[in-house]
């Protein structure tokens, strides 16, 4: 009987990414046509909360990984927990052309500058379950 350790390796990797010690909370506020602060460096497992403190705004990842929804002038709060190291650009969809953009750099388990896309390619090479890759990349269903 041939036994593959690939699924076990992926499971161990997912557990390592979703159980960080000492996860922190970070806050970003809208301030006119900017996010304040616009750029953050955080650790794997940390959560960023965006608050609309005034204006017609939303927050969306440049890759579609997360969004607060449609732009609104009502006060809103949106949180996202980052489970993978990498750089995550984000914007206000209405005001991106006016410079309302930012970046979350996530460091941790794979060190500074590890690009999350590289991890996804590696995970895909271990198994054929694309749903698991998506769940690991977004953290959905891993709590």
Q: Which of 35-39, 83-87, 121-125 has the lowest mean pLDDT?
A: 121-125
Is the confidence at residue 116, as pLDDT, over 80? Answer: no
Per-residue confidence at 48, pLDDT binned at 50, 70, 90?
very high
**CA 93/CA 59 separation, integer angstroms:** 7
pLDDT top residue among 73 and 122: 73
The domains located in the chain, with CATH, are 20-122 (2.60.40.420)
The reported pLDDT for the residue numbered 137 is 55
pLDDT tens digit sequence for 50-62: 999 999 999 999 9
Residue entry with tokens 């996860």 = 23
pTM of the complete model = 0.64
Give pLDDT, residue 22. Answer: 72
Q: Per-residue pLDDT tens for 14-34?
A: 444 444 457 999 999 999 999
Sign of the four-CA dihedral 9, 62, 72, 27:
positive
pLDDT digits (tens, 9 = 90+) for 63-113: 999 999 999 999 999 999 999 999 999 999 999 999 999 999 999 865 444
């Amino acid at each position: 009987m041939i036994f593959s350790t690939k699924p076990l390796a992926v499971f161990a990797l997912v557990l390592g990414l979703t159980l960080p010690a000492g996860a922190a909370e970070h806050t970003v506020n809208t301030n006119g046509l900017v996010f304040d602060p616009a750029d953050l460096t955080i650790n794997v497992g940390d959560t960023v909360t965006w608050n609309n403190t005034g204006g017609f705004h939303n927050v969306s990842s440049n890759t579609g990984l997360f969004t607060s929804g449609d732009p609104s002038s009502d006060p809103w709060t949106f949180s996202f927990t980052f489970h993978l190291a990498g750089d995550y650009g984000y914007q206000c969809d209405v005001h991106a052309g006016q410079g309302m953009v930012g970046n979350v750099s996530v460091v941790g388990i794979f060190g500074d500058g590890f690009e999350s896309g590289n991890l996804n390619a590696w995970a895909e090479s271990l198994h054929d379950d694309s749903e698991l890759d998506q769940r690991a990349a977004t953290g959905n269903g891993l709590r």
